[in-house]
A and B are shown apart, each in its own frame.
Chain A
Amino acid sequence: MLTLGGAAQKAAERADFARWRQTSANLLKQLKLDYPLAELRHWTVLLLPLFLFLLFWSSVSQPVSGGIFDTLGTESGAELHLVDLNSTFNLTSSSLVNARSLQLILAFSMVIAGIFAVQGTRQNFSRYPYVLRVGLIYLFILIWLGVAAWRVTLSDEQFIAPSIDFLGWESQEWSIVALICIALGMFFYGLLSNRNPRNFEFSLVLIMVSGLVMLAPLNMDQYQTNVSTLVAVWIMFGLGMNIVVGYAGLLDLGYVAFLAIGAYTYAFLSPINTQAKLNRTELNDLGWAIYIGLVVVPLVVFGASLAWHRLGRGNTSNRPAATSALKRLAPLWKNQPPLLVTLALIGVAVGATFLVRAVLEASGQLEVWQFSPFLVSLFVAMFAAAFAGFVLGVPVLRLRGDYLAIVTLGFGEIISLSLRNLSNITGGPSGAVRLPQPVADDTPALTASLAVLYLNVVFILLIILLANRLRNSRIGLAWLAMRSDEDIAQSMGINLVNAKLLAFSIGAGFAGVAGMLLAANQPGGIFPESFTLQQSINVLALVIIGGMGSIPGVIIGAIVLVGLPEILRPVQEYRIMAFGLLLVVTMVVRPSGLLPTPPPALEAEAQNLYQSRREE
């Protein structure tokens, strides 16, 4: 354990990306020397995901008729393998890998190739005429929208859109409406992205990769969808861990506790032990208490302090530089609203919540306005896990390195053992079973998993956006400084208490969302065995192997450490051995991880801003 902790710290210390940068600079120099070959190589990297996608798509059994593109003229129900993996590699169902796993590996390689493609784009690329640039981007958009439309609107058992009947329109019509909306959004994105020709390559590759990632699940079967969802959940989980360990440098070995809190929150707020796949439920009194305590009150407190800042009393920005430093610097707590104001606002909010509930009840609307357990537990799980992170953070504020690791390890074990032994509440070792999925009651199983997979993808994108914003903000810089040296960071004006508690809470909140989505895709139920120390070490390892503080690194780490072992179930006995070997080799060969991200280059922008300020 301590070895692992030491490795984590070593990796954080050695997060020296200079070599990476030097290599890429040399690469650019080479590009000028042998131009045609380099150009070919460059576009190969950019288009590799497309090639892998075509291989993936053409190797899966395809229905070739039906839908809105009924042009091939073949018989309905016929299937088409452009590439038959089973016969090519002479595979049988008892082989080590079968066609399904190979397709999945292709899909994962596509994601990894997509990351490399996005990172490999160049900025100074505007030799092509405007029409060609716009044309290429729209060609990609049209192709992937067309494929999606064809796949989604296939008839009969191939139909995979959720069955809804809303405002007199059938699901197929609604699917087309949704696709048209996406098309419009893409159209405007295409226009926007072409305003700056320097961004051409980036826009093109981003549209291509996001399109491919969105299309790929449409052709997956149940097994492939489930494995992809598992990987997606671990990406989210890893992104949370990335904030705690990668950004703030706080080694947390009990991190799985927050995943468990998120998952069990979903279980608590769902109607358990019912055969029906309910997707709507009435909140019970406990649910209301949790809802008010963990969602309404924190939102009011945050909102009040934010409003207080906005109203100018706590405005600490834009101070004139020449005034007395002492006058400029009232401590932070002075900028918060007084306790009584906060309490009054909480009272008003809680009262309003109960009033709304009473009105709904009296008018008989509560039945109509029932809560979806998914939407409620989305917030509750996030806030509950963040609160748990805060609670864990308070006692460990003074601890560092190995000591912190031991205490968090203990916290993880407490949660894990509670789940196993508090049978009355958590269901004990037999778990919380038969959880509802966030889809309509009569949705086919494959469509339900597909919906959850897409939900996961959306949340991953959201969390990446938030994590990226945090990384480049004041608080992100404070975390990075704290990772480098706590004492020096504090003497540079960083409040360690705030920074640590924020890192713990935000990281835990992300893990809570991941746990909730994990539970939402396991209609069979969740069990304490899924939330043990092994999972904590796994997530730490995936952050380290991917590269500390690197978001693409987390994605690659999750695919390598969670996706591949799942695909290679037949050789499960060697899994842990391979795992250890991979960790050792990565740390020796690439101490900063498989895909470390260089920090943002800010100087050019800073220089522009500074000069434009001076001209004013």
Chain B
Amino acid sequence: MNALDVQSITKVFGGLVAVSEASMAIPDRAIASLIGPNGAGKTTFFNCVSGFYKPERGKIIAYGRNIQGLRTDQIMALGIARTYQNIHLFSGMTVLENILAGMHSRRAMGPLGALARHRSNRDEARNVLANAYHWLEYVGLAGQGDQFATNLSYGSQRRLEIARALASEPRILLLDEPTAGMNPQEKQTMIDFIRRLRDELGLTIFLIEHDMGLVMNVSDQITVLDYGRVIAEGTPTEVKNNPRVIEAYLGSQAEQEPHAAEIPDDLPQDEQPQKETV
């Protein structure tokens, strides 16, 4: 069974068609990437899957269940967790409390339980705390659990965001540009970490990424989006040699000359070496 099956979704903002008839399927335990030039609709696509936007048409099926139209908290409860392009941690809460908040949908304690603190409630609180420490250690933040989340360094905040998502025990993890703003070494660590998530936890990982080197390296499957449409899908090698992808990124042969000056602007710095291979 496919982990995620997106069937021709369309999302329109006023007159702008952000995502148009986009379909894709991610097999169980795969690492899939979504790439495309700036403004291609990648994040909109993500927001549709995680429930922030309600697509006008189409179906989104996760492990055989239609999740289109559900609220974000229901989708999270069904096992689809995500991180954000701009880090969104809970300010005013400690690192450990952020992870505990991520476990919300896996806990049963209601307000009466919180007030009465019956034995089962205390047991649950202890289990949850031990679990939270497990995730803290898993992402390598042990020792910083009592700090304010917003006081962490940038890379640690990214890892905390992933820990918060992992704490909800997801089956599918959506990562929106997990390596944005990282140096090559940190990126390599992140690649290894993403592989570990798949191999150790059996997660299906779906990521948006701008760094072509990273995408080609880590992905089992790549989907390319341009102007809201899926223009290519396949293994990294297939996508790399797809003429439509080359056209989307570099412009067509005829157009290339007049627009030559604009090309570097469209591409993040990291894509320079990739451009040469294309």
Task: Report the bound CA distance from A314 to B146 in whole Å.
Answer: 33
Query: Which residue of B has the minimal Cβ distance to A475?
Result: B111
Q: Contact residue range for chain A?
A: 35 or more
> A residues 1-25 with Cβ under 8 Å of B?
12-13, 15-18
Asked whether A602 lies within 8 Å of B96 as measured between CB atoms, the reply is: yes
Identify which of A71-79, A257-265, A365-373, A465-473 touches chain B.
A465-473
> Which of A18, A473, A490, A605 contacts B114 (CB under 8 A)?
A473
Asked whether B120 lies within 8 Å of A474 as measured between CB atoms, the reply is: no
Asked whether B92 lies within 8 Å of A483 as measured between CB atoms, the reply is: yes
The answer, yes or no, to whether B150 is at the interface (CB within 8 Å) is yes
The answer, yes or no, to whether A495 is at the interface (CB within 8 Å) is yes
Q: Tell me the count of chain B residues lying within 8 A, CB to CB, of chain A.
A: 66
Task: Report the bound CA distance from A495 to B76 in whole Å.
Answer: 10
> Which of B65, B105, B108, B142 contacts A315 (CB under 8 A)?
B108
> Which of A16, A302, A326, A474 contacts B104 (CB under 8 A)?
A474
> A residues 303-317 with Cβ under 8 Å of B?
306, 309-310, 314-317
> A residues 500-516 with Cβ under 8 Å of B?
502, 506
Which residues of B lie under 8 Å from residue A318 when comparing CB positions? 124, 127
The answer, yes or no, to whether A325 is at the interface (CB within 8 Å) is yes
Task: Report the bound CA distance from A329 to B74 in whole Å.
Answer: 9
Asked whether A493 lies within 8 Å of B105 as measured between CB atoms, the reply is: yes
Task: Report the bound CA distance from A485 to B52 in whole Å.
Answer: 14
Task: Report the bound CA distance from A495 to B110 in whole Å.
Answer: 12
Asked whether A317 lies within 8 Å of B124 as measured between CB atoms, the reply is: yes
The answer, yes or no, to whether B91 is at the interface (CB within 8 Å) is yes
Which residues of A lie under 8 Å from residue B146 when comparing CB positions? 601-603
Which residues of A lie under 8 Å from residue B124 when comparing CB positions? 317-318
Which residues of B lie under 8 Å from residue A493 when comparing CB positions? 73, 76-77, 102, 104-106, 168
Which residues of A lie under 8 Å from residue B84 when comparing CB positions? 488
CB distance from A609 to the nearest CB of B (A): 4
Asked whether A490 lies within 8 Å of B72 as measured between CB atoms, the reply is: yes
Asked whether A491 lies within 8 Å of B169 as measured between CB atoms, the reply is: no
Task: Report the bound CA distance from A485 to B164 in whole Å.
Answer: 15
> A residues 523-539 with Cβ under 8 Å of B?
none
Q: A474-B114, A475-B114 are in contact. Are A494 and B90 (CB under 8 A)?
A: no
> Which of A16, A306, A603, A609 contacts B92 (CB under 8 A)?
A16
Asked whether B130 lies within 8 Å of A606 as measured between CB atoms, the reply is: yes
Asked whether A484 lies within 8 Å of B108 as measured between CB atoms, the reply is: no
Question: Could you list some 16 contacts between A and B, CB below 8 A?
Answer: A15-B92, A302-B112, A306-B110, A326-B63, A466-B115, A469-B114, A470-B115, A480-B97, A481-B101, A483-B92, A484-B90, A491-B76, A493-B73, A603-B96, A606-B96, A610-B133
Beyond A329-B78, A474-B107, A480-B93: 6 further Cβ-contacts under 8 Å? Answer: A315-B108, A484-B90, A488-B90, A492-B73, A599-B92, A603-B136
Interface residues of B (CB under 8 A from A): 50-52, 63-65, 71-79, 82, 84, 88, 90-94, 96-97, 100-102, 104-115, 117, 120, 124-127, 129-134, 136-137, 142-143, 145-146, 148, 150-151, 164, 168-171
